[in-house]
Structure 1
Amino acid sequence: MKTSEATLPGTLPLQRLTRETFAPFGDVIELDGARHFPINSGTTERYHDLARVDVTDDGGRPLINLFRAQPHALPVDIRMMERHPLGSQAFIPLTPCRYLIVVAPAGELDASQLRGFWTDAWQGVNYAKGVWHHPLLALDRVSDFLVVDRGGEQHNCDEQDLPQPLRLALPETFPERVGSAEIVA
């Protein structure tokens, strides 16, 4: 569904993911515009401090995981959201892939405050502690993500159904290619 077709209730328009538009929900993890400097006698470029990892409250510790996301066919309808009240959660694609992001501010879930984004080939995201988000919405093919989140004994995942399903409305400019990888929409 393209944005021009998505004017009925029950749709959520998507916009391109940028640092500015995503700032209320966390960090965009990308090389473009990031602080960087050479290390190891100039053989490596370090892109430094790309996200605020926040996982240590109540004895939490950082976990590094790999998630393998199954592809979703378009159109995509969402029915639920989740949040991690004790820690942030970062998703970094290991190969170029298209994926969609749906978020809402921390606090009580308000479906009217949902925002939707599409990513470019290499953008990752770090959801701030307590921010509502939909589980991974990879498109086109199985996609692997490096995930940094919180480990600990306390409960750290709340799920909530939406009052009604929402169809994600793709913009006219939604890319059919990611980098050099052919994408079939």
Structure 2
Amino acid sequence: MSAEIVIQPITATAFAPYGDLFDCSGDADMIINLGKCGRFHDRAQMDFGTGRAGLSLFKAEIRSLPYEFAILERHPLGSQAFVPMCENGFLVIVAEDANGTPINPKAFETQAGQAINFHKGTWHGVLTPLAGSGQFAVIDRIGDGNNLEEFLLKTPHVVVGA
């Protein structure tokens, strides 16, 4: 038996307890390159502690709804940003922390052109594209120490569309 989670619309406010939602909406903070490029400046609060920023490329398997998951992970030493390399949204699963245990999982779906940054220590699901190439640029902490904790849920959860 599994617990059902309905996808919620993602907004910066709804996602704020878990991280940053960022995109190029609104006016650019500055115009650069002789007026040919808008810079949307400092849109995510990256935190690498004693490590350094690393840029990796991921290619994840495309998933479909309903989507069943039984594992959540978090990165206690640094934040982790996912920037899609295609014009498709993706599924974002997050959970609150209760003394080292993830509780109350939620599911969001980003829109084309949106990226997310998980705050340090945020429980989240694995990379879950629902369409597109599955390719992402991932910016996260590189350095000493164990920056990955995984938690197997006793009851799998199923994400369904709204």
TM-score by length of 1: 0.81
Aligned to 1:115: 106
Residue 144 of structure 1, aligned match among 102, 122, 135: 135
Structure with greater proportional helix content: 1
State whether structure 2 residue 29 is matched by structure 1 residue 36: yes
Measured on the aligned residues, the alpha-carbon RMSD in Å equals 1.7
Q: Is the 8 A contact 2:61 2:134 kept in 1?
A: yes
Structure 1 contact 104–110 (Cα < 8 Å) conserved: yes
Match in the other structure for 1:105: 96
Q: Count matched residues.
A: 161
Normalized per residue, the structure richer in strand is: 2
More relative contact order in 1 or in 2 (CA 8 Å, sep 6+)?
2
Alpha-carbon deviations, 1:75-119, whole Å to 9, x = none?
2001010000000000011111231111013452233x2111011
Contact 2:84 2:136 in 1 (8 A): yes
Percent of matched pairs sharing the same residue: 35
5+ residue gaps, structure 1, are 1-7, 172-185
CA apart distance, 1:34: 6.4
Q: 1:60 corresponds to which residue? A: 51
Alignment match, 1:25: 18
- Distance (whole Å) between structure 1 residues aligned to residue 121 and residue 13 of structure 2: 19
Work out whether 1:124 is the aligned partner of 2:109: no
Q: TM-score with structure 2 length normalisation?
A: 0.92
Greater radius of gyration (CA):
1
> Once superposed, which parts of structure 1, at least 4 consecutive aligned residues long, lie more than 4 Å away?
none
Partners of 1:63 and 1:34 in 2: how far apart? Answer: 28
> Which runs of no fewer than 5 residues in structure 2 stay unpaired?
none
